[in-house]
Amino acid sequence: MYEYAIAWDWLTFAVRWLHVITAIAWIGSSFYFVALDLGLKKHPALPPGAYGEEWQVHGGGFYHIQKYLVAPANMPSHLVWFKWESYVTWMSGFGMLCLVYYAGADLYMIDPAVLDVSKPVAIAISLASIAGGWIMYDLICKSPFGNDNTRLMVALYFILVAVAWGYTHLFTGRAAFLHLGAFTATIMSANVFFIIIPNQKIVVADLIADRKPDPKYGRIAKQRSTHNNYLTLPVLFLMLSNHYPLAFGTQFNWIIASLVFLMGVTIRHWFNTRHADAGKPTWTWIVTVILFIAIMWLSTVPKILTGEPVTKLSAIQQPFVEAQAFPKVRDTIMGRCSMCHAKEPSWEGIIAPPKGVVFETDRDIAAHAREIYLQAGRSHAMPPANASHITDEERRLLVSWYENAVNGEKTQ
Ligand code: HEC
């Protein structure tokens, strides 16, 4: 059923749209609150229990915000919570993981030259690593080791480096980066769900019951919220990295990912210091630029191929290669696409296969049949600006080849 390919594509669009919108809402509100928090001014006329205040102007009005460090003396009648931004970002992100990486595990997740596993095993590794990551992180934070914030952050950084290395030894480079992002983002969202919001609820329950809330709950939430703050920028890089094969598809991809985490810290540190009115730490930008140059340099080392390229076809791929039209399809792809979509592209200005999409073997073509159909058959997205002059007749050939193969028809 070719309708399935179209519906699937739009479904991934809808979930991705939701994911981006909720992520903007989540990151936007959390960056706002971090900046607000750092910029609070103390003065003697504040009401009892208030820690600091800030005046802001936005959209034609003035806002006067006061922060109560543990809690106000009485429960306000109306209280706004910030949690769904985070929860829906996680849920839609998990949806994307299922739609793109689990459903397309053969293509996007499993690289038999890295680890030859079946689809269910790859999915199990993915789920276990993401859930296990949160459990491990949470235990470390709660252990006595977590009492020293700096020591904790340094240890967590080295854990992330190990995880980056680990993922690149389990999955394709693209999936490895995405998983490192999902691993980190799950920790962030779980911090909100399991720690920050429940602690806040304990404080609210205390207020309602006229008990004095324990300040430790706020302190713990603040520690987790600080981690989230420093992890945000690297997660964004990792989530967008699939557009950049030079990041994920080169030999030292795991070192690149590790340096991205450091850049996240140096960039955030500049803003955090500025918002706290504590000077201008220009050195953070110098370090950021050095890290960025190091990343660019590392990305010039090509991936060393181990083992033979895989040519074995899966049951889903077989009909595309067995189709009568296949020889012509192959000629079309080789003639109109492979100048860019090759391990070593010959098209001027393209140095790595765009989005990691390579068309060299019959299996490559069969594995990407749906993408070929959507990008070059049904739509005119590929070749870009029709750079390689594909004809309408060739596009029709790609469409009928795909549709016939998925409908199980033997075109005679
Ligand atoms: C002139 C170079 C060039 C040619 C020729 C070309 N592509 Fe591409 N292709 C690109 C670039 C650049 C991208 C990445 C676009 C982006 O990042 O959004 C891309 C991306 C893709 C993707 C991934 C799209 C996605 O969003 O995941 C597919 C699939 C693809 N091309 C298929 C084809 C097919 C099929 C042909 C031949 C009919 C073709 N391309 C010809 C340059 C080319």
**Number of C-beta neighbours around residue 232 at 10 A:** 22
Are 180 and 167 in contact by the 8 Å Cβ rule? The answer is: yes
| C-alpha span between 238 and 232 (Å, rounded) | 10
Q: Which of 359, 385, 360 is nearest to 372 (CA)?
A: 359
**Atom 10 of ligand 1, residue of closest alpha carbon:** 354
pLDDT at residue 307, rounded to an integer: 64
Q: Ligand 1 centroid to 354 CA: how many Å?
A: 6
Residue 140 has a pLDDT of 96
| Amino acid letter for position 53 | E
For residue 107, the model assigns a pLDDT of: 84
Residue ID of nearest Cα to ligand 1 atom 11:
354
Distance (Å) from CA 383 to ligand 1 centroid: 6
Counting from 1 in the atom list of ligand 1, the atom nearest the Cα of 332 is: 38
Residue 412 is predicted with a pLDDT of 42
- What tokens were used for 303? 């991936």
How many alpha carbons fall within 13 Å on the CB side of residue 168? 20
Distance from C-alpha of 269 to C-alpha of 272, rounded to nearest angstrom? 5
What distance in angstroms lies between residue 359's CA and the mean position of ligand 1's atoms? Answer: 10
402/377 Cα distance (integer angstroms): 9
User: What tokens does 292 get?
Assistant: 């960025």
Tokens representing residue 25 in the block: 């809402």
In the structure, which protein residues have their CB atom closer than 6 angstroms to any atom of ligand 1? 243, 336-337, 339-341, 347, 350, 354-355, 357, 368, 371-372, 375-376, 382-384, 387-388, 390
The Å distance, Cα 278 to ligand 1 centre, comes to 47
Residue nearest to atom 3 of ligand 1 (CA): 340
Centre of ligand 1 from the C-alpha of residue 357, in Å: 7
Number of C-alpha atoms within 13 angstroms, CB side, residue 355? Answer: 10
Q: What's the confidence (pLDDT) of residue 306?
A: 66
- Asked if 256 and 51 touch (Cβ cutoff 8 Å), the reply is no
Given CA atoms 243, 247, 248, 249 in this order, what sign does their dihedral have? positive
Which of 340, 359, 386 is the best mutation target for the ligand 1 pocket, counting ligand atoms within 8 Å of the beta carbon and taking the most?
Answer: 340
Ligand 1 atom nearest the C-alpha of 345 is 2
- Cα(303) to centroid(ligand 1), Å: 21
How far, in Å, are 226, 265, 272 from residue 35 at the CA level?
12, 15, 7
CB of 66 closer than 8 Å to CB of 52: yes
Query: d(Cα 71, Cα 206) in Å, to the nearest integer?
Result: 10
Q: How many Å lie between the centroid of ligand 1 and the Cα of residue 113?
A: 24
* Tokens matching residue 56: 């802001």
Using alpha carbons, select from 370, 342, 369 the residue that is nearest to residue 354.
342
Residue of 291, 239, 248 whose CA lies nearest to 266 = 291
Q: Probe ligand 1: pick from 10, 99, 320, 337, max atoms within 8 Å of CB?
A: 337
- Distance of alpha carbon 269 from alpha carbon 39, whole angstroms: 14
Q: What is the pLDDT of residue 305?
A: 66
- Residue 411: the pLDDT is 45
- Give nearest CA residue, ligand 1 atom 19: 354
**Which residue from 130, 122, 132 is spatially nearest to 101, judged by alpha carbons?**
122
8 Å CB contact between 64 and 78 = no
Contacts of 48 (CB under 8 A, 6+ apart): 73
CA of 128 to the centre of ligand 1 (A): 33
Using 70 as the pLDDT threshold, list the residues of the chain that sit under it. 305-309, 409-412
Residue nearest to atom 33 of ligand 1 (CA): 382
349 CA to middle of ligand 1, Å? 14
